[in-house]
A = this chain, B = another copy of it.
Amino acid sequence: MALIVQKFGGTSVGTPERVRSVAKRIARTYEEGHQLVVVVSAMGHTTDELIELAHKVSDNPPHREMDMLLTAGERISMALLCMALADQRVPAISLTGSQSGIITDQSHRRARIRRILGDRVRTALSQKNVVIVAGFQGVSETKEVTTLGRGGSDTTAVALAAALSAKVCEIFTDVDGVYSADPRIVPQAKFLKTIPHDLMVEMATRGAGVLHPRSVELAKQFKVALRVRNSLNENEGTEVINRMKDASMEEYQVTGATADDSKILLRVTLTRPTVLGALLERAALSHLSILSPIFVDGEVRFFSDRDGEVDWRKNLEKLSLEGFVSKYELWPEIIPLSVIGDRFSQDGLALQKIVEVLAQVDIQVTFGTSSPLAMTVGIQKSRAAEGVRALHSAFMENNHAS
């Protein structure tokens, strides 16, 4: 008998039929004698619909009330899942983030988990219940309801697995696990039975949608065994592990290629190099990401989240007026294309190889940057699929073209 944490996303519980089928799956695991904590997201498009409602009643909804509103989403899905389990004669109890003792800081809409009390979860488990926990939500020390922002439900699942010393945390999704590239774009993409945490973080940060980087980092930090599985079959899925298996001592290994169209490129020219801090500080205050930055001749180029575009424009306008920024441009049509691999960027010629491969299919690279585990270039959004296919073919289909 083991304690297992499972997480089902919004698509897995998107309709009453799917809720019932998830309940059947949970029932089978329960009948094998395992203790089960199940983290669940809001059904399908519920969160988007609630956000739309909010914008219909207010031009600028307060974040506190937005959290109150959005947490209704998981409340609905978790109660329905418990009901469907009752029909399977599985004793189950639903708990909100607050009831589960998921204590966060006070940042509404993007709260960070501080610690997990979990008393009611443990009590309910000891009474032989399957415990259904609302993902994405918590409560602050001042008893305000908070939400965790992007990747919230994955993060709830991993944090609970850590707090409860679960044997494994299984993230269920609608694909079999992690591939070397998106199989809808690259038919030759290789299924990865295992992937080390660090590379999974890189893959996730750079566009592999299957897991949120925040949850992977948490899993690494608290040594939580993490597995990505398909909710529609019984496959073992992808195991996220501590270190690369069978890695050769010196040769680099390429894990995957990703394109991320949820990002845009920004080019900001500073009035003088010493004011970079002002830009970084303003971005941090507005919770705007700065990804893969390069700094050349007083100009900073970086990627950021597409949905931060309006916020970026406001902040950059302000920085201009304050005399920090002399010029800025947003390039929504340029997105990052990345090759991820252990020690890949230590190959001094890696960036040049990428540029050459892309040039062969007539894709122009606007800029390139490297991090220890990945190389990223900016290309036209409309050419992303072609770019991923070309890189996958060059680096992964004939075993690293070194």
Specify which of B23, B58, B75 is in contact with A72 (CB 8 Å cutoff). B75
* Beta-carbon contact of B61 and A68 below 8 Å: no
Give the complex CA separation of A128 and B237 in angstroms.
Answer: 54
Chain B residues closer than 8 Å to A72, beta-carbon distance = 72-73, 75-76, 79
Contact with B along A96-109 (1 / 0, CB 8 A): 00010000000000
Q: Choose, from A49-57, A291-299, A330-338, A364-372, the stretch at the interface.
A: A49-57
Give the complex CA separation of A78 and B50 in angstroms.
Answer: 13
Give the complex CA separation of A71 and B143 in angstroms.
Answer: 18
Most buried by B among A50, A75, A87: A75
Sample of 13 A–B contacts (CB below 8 Å): A16-B56, A53-B76, A57-B87, A58-B84, A58-B87, A60-B87, A64-B93, A66-B79, A68-B79, A69-B75, A69-B76, A69-B83, A72-B76
Given contacts A93-B64, A99-B143, are A57 and B80 in contact (CB under 8 A)? yes
* Beta-carbon contact of B87 and A65 below 8 Å: no
Give the complex CA separation of A107 and B80 in angstroms.
Answer: 20
Give the complex CA separation of A347 and B80 in angstroms.
Answer: 54
Contact with B along A165-200 (1 / 0, CB 8 A): 000000000000000000000000000000000000
Give the complex CA separation of A61 and B85 in angstroms.
Answer: 9
Q: A37-62: which have CB < 8 Å to B?
A: 50, 53-54, 56-62
Specify which of B60, B71, B79 is in contact with A86 (CB 8 Å cutoff). B60
* Beta-carbon contact of A53 and B94 below 8 Å: no
Give the complex CA separation of A59 and B23 in angstroms.
Answer: 14
* Least CB separation from A64: chain B residue: B93
* Beta-carbon contact of A83 and B99 below 8 Å: no
* Beta-carbon contact of B87 and A68 below 8 Å: no
Chain B residues closer than 8 Å to A56, beta-carbon distance = 16
* Beta-carbon contact of B69 and A79 below 8 Å: yes
Instruction: Answer whether residue A325 sits at the interface, using C-beta atoms and an 8 A cutoff.
Output: no
Most buried by B among A60, A79, A120: A79
* Beta-carbon contact of B84 and A57 below 8 Å: yes
Chain B residues closer than 8 Å to A59, beta-carbon distance = 87
Instruction: Answer whether residue A82 sits at the interface, using C-beta atoms and an 8 A cutoff.
Output: yes
Specify which of B61, B62, B82 is in contact with A65 (CB 8 Å cutoff). B82
* Beta-carbon contact of A65 and B53 below 8 Å: no
* Least CB separation from A23: chain B residue: B57
* Beta-carbon contact of B82 and A54 below 8 Å: no
Specify which of B20, B75, B82, B143 is in contact with A62 (CB 8 Å cutoff). B82
Instruction: Answer whether residue A259 sits at the interface, using C-beta atoms and an 8 A cutoff.
Output: no
* Beta-carbon contact of B94 and A65 below 8 Å: yes
Specify which of B54, B78, B80 is in contact with A80 (CB 8 Å cutoff). B54
* Beta-carbon contact of B87 and A16 below 8 Å: no
Instruction: Answer whether residue A340 sits at the interface, using C-beta atoms and an 8 A cutoff.
Output: no
**How far, in Å, is A328 (CB) from chain B's closest CB?**
31
Give the complex CA separation of A93 and B62 in angstroms.
Answer: 10
* Beta-carbon contact of B65 and A86 below 8 Å: yes
* Beta-carbon contact of A68 and B86 below 8 Å: no
Chain B residues closer than 8 Å to A160, beta-carbon distance = none
Given contacts A16-B53, A53-B16, A53-B80, are A68 and B75 in contact (CB under 8 A)? yes
**How far, in Å, is A315 (CB) from chain B's closest CB?**
22
Instruction: Answer whether residue A19 sits at the interface, using C-beta atoms and an 8 A cutoff.
Output: yes
Give the complex CA separation of A66 and B86 in angstroms.
Answer: 12
Chain B residues closer than 8 Å to A58, beta-carbon distance = 80, 83-84, 86-87
* Beta-carbon contact of B76 and A62 below 8 Å: no
Chain B residues closer than 8 Å to A53, beta-carbon distance = 16, 76, 80
